[in-house]
Amino acid sequence: MNDPCVKRVLISVTDKTGVVDFARALHDEFGAEIVSTGGTARVLEEGGVPVRPIDDVTGFPEMMDGRVKTLHPKVHGGLLAKRSNPAHMAQAAEHGIGMIDMVVVNLYAFEKTVASGADAAACIENIDIGGPSMLRSAAKNFESVAVVIDPESYGAILDEMRAHGGATTRETRARLALHVFQTTNAYDGAIAGWLAGQVEGAGEFPERLSIDLVKQQDLRYGENPHQSAAFYRRMTATPHALVNARQLNGKPLSYNNILDTDACWTIVREFDDPAVVILKHQNPCGSADGATVAEAFERAFACDTKSAYGGIVAANKTVSLAMVEAVNAHKLFVEVLIAPDYEPAALELLQQKKNLRVLATGGVDALGQEMEFRTVDGGVLVQDADVVSEAADSFAVPTKRMPTAKEMDDLLFAWKVVKGVKSNAILVAKDHAGIGMGPGQPNRVDSAKLACERAHEACARIGVAPESLVAASDAFFPFRDNIDMLAGYGVTAIIQPGGSIRDDECIQACDELGIAMVFTGRRHFRH
């Protein structure tokens, strides 16, 4: 069949951006009859667009506070009738149902209502019924009906109609229909997710789970050049999440940039004092806090000057000019710098490096507000986020020697960083700096050895004695050989979850070696 000309349009929108000009063009240029509802009709009339009220079409008034206005055969019959089916057209004529060639609808702002903190009654009233029904009817019959939900598409649709004698093309109608079903799917998922939180006993993990994702950007390639990839944004993303960060400079982010930046940004947000984390291939090769972000950067960089090259740098406070000058003084090549904000002079200096990706989040969201998803073959694993929320006063010290105040201070620092190291993970720290990292080894004693060797290298580089070191382990020690290894490199205090069947053996080893050991009672694996 030929592409149908648009002669009758039903318009009912929550977002009234551009709708008056769009409706006027449809009427004035193409002679389309405009049918509309409630508030939309008033806006169009005030804009000088001739409008036929919906109740004039249906023969029924809008009722029940607007809950019922378009749920009528004269609406849905006009949308669903197959123009090429003589029986459909005869039945429409018999019942006085006129065809509708275009529907312009966007939905009640349910998600914004929920995000505003509105009560349950207000949220329920913002569950759109008539809108999704019209959209789905029109989208099902896209062979004959164009369905428009995005104000940004008004101009392109008018241009196409001008080029095709007042008609839209099948290709466009099919694309618009796809957009509709994607939108209504996400809309229903948002409602189901909210209602699951309202229904007692629905549980943290419902029987069915919908994830609403909107494409943020196409990526040049994935983890490797032969893999294609894209970056999607969750509709539930917190305001200062990585996905909402503004890019102020540099090349487009790559797949690996995004993964590493997320890991780096997650670690640095564990700290309240000014802190900087430098990360490479998912592991924090440098981490420190300080009186300022500039001091924190200098101390983090000193942890591992070699691995820092080509890494990600994250700061939890506004980046100062002094910090940028420190980065430049070390001639450090940085892939991505992420922070809440930047001093104007600092940003001006950063923007002299055209390839450096500079991200501003606008703030720091609390950790643990969203669920984590990981795909596996044929499925998805879902868990709540891992956050160091355990309080120091809940820790146990099973050894004869208690940690000194300074040791405990360093242990708490190391405990927050080791969570971000790939398991099996050991982090050696001194003076609130992660000077030695042992990531991802298949046995913990090798991780301990690697962490200690790097810590001694850092001490030699910084010019301090490798003494009074502390170590954090993301999981318990299965044997005392880990203790012996750490002690041999000058570690005097250890923090770990505890819970091994050989805890007593490890405690005995600490007592023999004069090491203080803290049990947190919580593991922080990162696979």
d(CA 329, CA 459): 21
Q: What angle do CA 509, 515, 519 make, to 5 degrees?
A: 85
Which of 8, 6, 10, 4 shows the shortest CA–CA distance to 134? 10
Q: Is 406 a catalytic residue?
A: no
d(CA 131, CA 100): 15
Buried b (16+ CB within 10 A) or exposed e, 222-257: eeeeeeebebebbbbbbebbbbebeebbbeebbbbb
Residue with tokens 């009233």: 125
DSSP string, 93-151: HHTTPPP--EEEE----HHHHHHTT--HHHHHHT--SHHHHHHHHHHHTTTT-EEE--G
CB 430 within 8 A of CB 452: no
d(CA 134, CA 151): 17
Catalytic residue among 281, 330, 353, 456: 281
d(CA 57, CA 169): 27
Catalytic residue among 82, 140, 251, 353: 140
In this structure, the dihedral spanned by the alpha carbons of residues 364, 365, 368 and 369, taken in order and rounded to 10 degrees, is: -160
Long-range contacts of 378-386 (CB under 8 A, 24+ apart): 382/205, 382/209, 384/204, 386/419, 386/524, 386/526
Q: How many Cβ atoms are within 10 Å of 208's Cβ, its own excluded?
A: 8
Beta-bridge partner residues of 12? 105
Q: Is 527 a catalytic residue?
A: no
Beta-bridge partner residues of 231? 217
DSSP letter at 392 equals G
H/E stretch holding 265: helix 255-268
Where in the sequence numbering do the catalytic residues fall? Answer: 140, 281
